[in-house]
Structure formats: structure tokens, C-alpha cells
Structure 1
């Protein structure tokens, strides 16, 4: 399946709000987890069905309901029914090719964006769609698979003295977004280390394998930019949002996300330009290497032109030729050739051609 654009054939002709999973199924069975807390209590458990969530809509605690696995349309539909979620929002949740965006509803705030990860070789970037639905009492998140960047937040929640235990769902959303943006920087930084190392290699040893690696990172940086750049719009709208869902005390933290997002975008742009420069430098290095080879071959051929001329003259089959029957004619001719070669090399050296 294409990484930059998903296959939308399944949605062709369908009515808006149709629940159709677009993407690659990453797990067999969906996994549901609830974390419900306040300054005094903490409930943290995996549940079997949506009915076990409990009345989190009416409680005064902060509730985080996470679903791993987007392929089960029936489960997504039941979540929508239980929490009165719009059908268009549910459609966006199941579309893993959805562009990162933020939408404000009457009682909900919907955000969808990408989490980025590097493979084991630290060379290829893969993404996972994250969708978050914020209300004053609960936060619902949808992910494609288990494993994310939110473990630091979960650890903070388990500490009774942590600030997050006294804050609401809007601060919890901030904490999750902060983890996503910090991970953007980690991914870009890891790729940047290798890109910067290639600067020396491209001058010292511009081998074809290095060109392949440059093209690989150009593709991966383009993929990172596709995920990171739209988040600027999300953060911009979020920090200027005039909604009862967001507590005014949380706004400074949301505005602080801008610096992380700008840093991620700037870093991706810098490495994009560096890779373009590396590509140009590689081509110049290869051209310079080719010029040196051509220079050597030209000098080599130029030296042999007069030698070939002399050999051609005395290789003609005429009976009456000067020194044709001379006893040392062969040695004299070799000597003349040697003098010609030395003389030409001296001349080339004096003109700084070699």
C-alpha cells in the first residue's frame, strides 16, 4: 500500500459518514483500555467490551479511554453510539490516510494526526494515525496498534503527587500532544545524525551505495514533512481556540507546543535542503572524478600520438629508408621515443596540466 496516499477505492460511491476502514490492519483484535483518575483515586485497566467503560460521561474524574485497532468498524460504531459522536468524525477515525486536522463540534473537539517511528535499522519512517476526541469529562483516543509514545504520560498518572492528577482532560490532551511532538524531534534528530555523517563521505568516497542512501533519506524526510507540516495548523487553532472545553489555565501549555512544532518543521526543512545539497555535491564529486579520469586518458593518448607516428614511419615497407639497415636503428628509435615521452611530461608538468 502506498505510504503517501492510501487506496480510496473502497469509499468510492459511498455516502458521507460510511464506516469503511482504509489502511492496513495492524493487529488481530482491538484492545480497549480505560484510565480514570483524580487527585485521590486511580482506575487503570484493560476491558473486554465497550459496555465496561462505565458512566465516565457523568463523573467528575478525568477519564482516558484508548482503543488500539481501527479495523473493527462495528466497534467504532458502538463507541460512536455510546458517546454520541458524529458519523463524519467516525469516518475520519477509520481513514488512516486522513490529513492531520482539527475540528470543533458543539460538545467535542476532534484532532487527528500522525505518530512517527523509525524501524529497527533507523532508516525508514513509518507512521500510525492518532485520533483524539476531547470533552470536559473524558478523552477518547484511537490508535492503529499497541505501542506508542505515551508511556511517560501513563507513568505520570500513576504518581499521586503529579500535576496531571489534578488537571482535566484538556491538560491530558496537551501531555499526549507534547509526547507526539517531542517524538517528531527524536525521529528527525536520529535521521539527521546520519545525514550529517554523509557530508564527509560524499566528498571522500562518493560510491553508488551512498547515492542510494541519499535518495532513501530524501524520501523519508519527505514523508516526515508530510506528517509534521499540517500539525502547525492544528497547534495554531488549538492555542487560539475559544471553547469551554479548554480551561484557560491550560492555554499557556498549548501555546508552548508551538515551539516544538516549529522546531520539528524547521529541522525537517533544514535536512531536506542538506540532502539536496548532498545530491548536488555527489554529482559534482562524480563529475570531478570523471574529469580526472578523462584527463589521465587524454594525457596518455597525447603521449602516444608522436610515438605512434614514429612507429608508423619506420613500419612502412619501403626498401630505401634512412637508417633502415643501421645496426643500432632500433635502439635509436626507442631512445627518440623515450626523449619524446620525457619531454612531453616535462612540458605538461610545467603548464600544470598534471
Structure 2
């Protein structure tokens, strides 16, 4: 008979035949005591569950493996938070512990609650297969997040060349931070998925060897994609900076040329504005217009010279 228990502190247990999956949200000291009394876990494992740690890890014990994963969550548009997921997998039990709801994990758990067929599909081949299903779903969720980041990168790339360089500086910075956060959390997990290729079949049976190789291939696909995204956003940042710099240089160039053109005109007008008894041309009937003509000729010569030098 299939059983479902809802225990204090958000501790959920699903049983299938002689297999158990326990999911703990926001683990407490009471939960740790429960695990120690019912699953004979090593004291080091119990101490590691609380508090959350800052790096992924895989530890092998006599009758179970302890996996610490970091899962990126991008519900907030401007930030990407990293959620920790602790997994303890033995021959007959699987324990998952986390401090926030992790959507792909929760989705699988809900399927087991609502569908006896799904529960049987995930658990009838043993705990190793359930572990594979959970890890595969977590990796697929990461792929989806990478796809979302790549879509954002494509939008930024298109807008860079539409004259919106200054407007997208912040977007590039936010995207770069998301990608770097994702990379820092994900890259250390290579060791975990690489080790599972050998450890998984030994603990859960040789039939699951292809499954754990599939996990590692998915990991490699994500790793390659995030590397490409990282390189792309860095290239776009450099390109955007160059475009902004070129634009500023053009403005400075125009202002410099205007100053160079105005300088001789200012010099000439200052000469005829001196308070002296004798000013050539100024005292003639057409003095004003002659001065204007001289200024226009000077201006035209300056512009012609700059165009000849291809400065304009």
C-alpha cells in the first residue's frame, strides 16, 4: 500500500514498497535529530546539512552518498540567487533538503503525490533511478535558464547597433553578473557528475551506468553553453564600450575643430575691436562689410583645409 505522510517542519515522506523519499524544506535541529535516529547517517553528514555551505560537494560513505548541489534561481529579474540542495542517497532511501522551494525538485515530488503511475515510474527501478530523474530535471532546468540568458544576450546584441549603447550599459552589467553567478555555482559541480559515472553504478547497480553518463553529457552541454555565453557577453561589453568611446571621440573631434575654426575669427575680431586711433578698414564707409568678408574668407579657408586633411 502506498503511503504519504506530512510531518512537522515541512518534512514530507513518500513510500513505495520498501523505498522512501523524504523531502525537507528549511531543515531544523529537530529534522537533523529525526534523520540521525531513523537513517543512521554519519555525524559529519548531519552537521553539514545545517547551515548551508558555499560550495558543491560529493562525499561517499559506507552505505550512502551525500551530494551538495547549487541551483541557480532567476525569479528576480535583476539578480540570480543560488539555492542549495542536499541529497542523501542510500540503497533504500533518498533524502532531499533545501532552504527554499526548488521548482524542478518540487515538480517531481508533486507528480509522485498526484499520480501513482508517475510514482511507480520514478521509484520502481530503485533509488538510483529516482536520483537520476531528479538530477536530470535539475540540469534541464539549468539549460532552460541558459536559454533565457542567451535570448537576453541576443536582444542586447541587436540593440547595440541601433544606437542604444548608453541605454544598455546597465543591462549588459546585469547580464554579466547573472552569467558569472551561474558559472561560479555550476562549474565546481563537474567533479560531482564526473564521479557519479563510476560511483552511481557501484551503489545502485550497473543497469544505471548509461543514466549517469547521460547526466555528465548534459552537464558538459550546459558547461559549453555557459562558457560561450560568458565569452559573448564579454565581447558585447567590449564592443559597446568601443562604440561609446568612438561616439565621444567624434564629439570631442567636432568641438576641437569648431574651436580651431573660431580661434582665428576671434583673433581678427579682437583686433578690430581695439580702442586705438588707427584701425585699417574700420574707418572706411564699407569697413563693417569688409571685416565680415574677411571673416567669411578666413572661415571658408579653415573649413577647406580641414576637409583637405579629411578631418571633417
TM-score by length of 1: 0.79
Q: Say yes or no: does 1:225 pair with 2:202.
A: no
Q: Output the CA distance in 1 between the equivalents of 2:11 and 2:310.
A: 86
Alignment of structure 1 residues 157-306 onto 2, 5 Å: 157=112, 158-160=115-117, 163-203=121-161, 204-207=163-166, 209-241=167-199, 244-306=202-264
Q: Output the CA distance in 1 between the equivalents of 2:100 and 2:274.
A: 84
Partner of 1:136: 91
Q: Output the CA distance in 1 between the equivalents of 2:110 and 2:42.
A: 32
Partner of 1:47: 7
The SS at the match of 1:327 is coil
Q: Output the CA distance in 2 between the equivalents of 1:351 and 1:168.
A: 80
Q: Output the CA distance in 2 between the equivalents of 1:320 and 1:240.
A: 102
Shift of 1:147: 4.6
Q: Say yes or no: does 1:110 pair with 2:66.
A: yes
Once the two structures are superposed, residues 285-320 of structure 1 have per-residue CA deviations (whole angstroms, 9 ceiling, x without a partner) of: 221111101111111011112211211221222212
1:50 touches 1:79 (CA, 8 Å); kept in 2?
no
Worse-superposed segment, 77-86 or 169-178? 77-86
TM-score by length of 2: 0.89
Alignment of structure 1 residues 42-81 onto 2, 5 Å: 42-48=2-8, 60-70=17-27, 72-81=28-37
Change (3 A) 1:214 1:85: same
Q: Output the CA distance in 2 between the equivalents of 1:148 and 1:296.
A: 56
Once the two structures are superposed, residues 118-137 of structure 1 have per-residue CA deviations (whole angstroms, 9 ceiling, x without a partner) of: 1243x321122111111111
Change (3 A) 1:222 1:42: same
The SS at the match of 1:230 is helix
The SS at the match of 1:299 is helix
The SS at the match of 1:110 is strand
Gaps of 5+ in 2: none
2:5 touches 2:13 (CA, 8 Å); kept in 1?
no
1:134 touches 1:245 (CA, 8 Å); kept in 2?
no
Q: Which has the higher helix share?
A: 2
Change (3 A) 1:49 1:97: closer
Q: Output the CA distance in 1 between the equivalents of 2:153 and 2:246.
A: 22
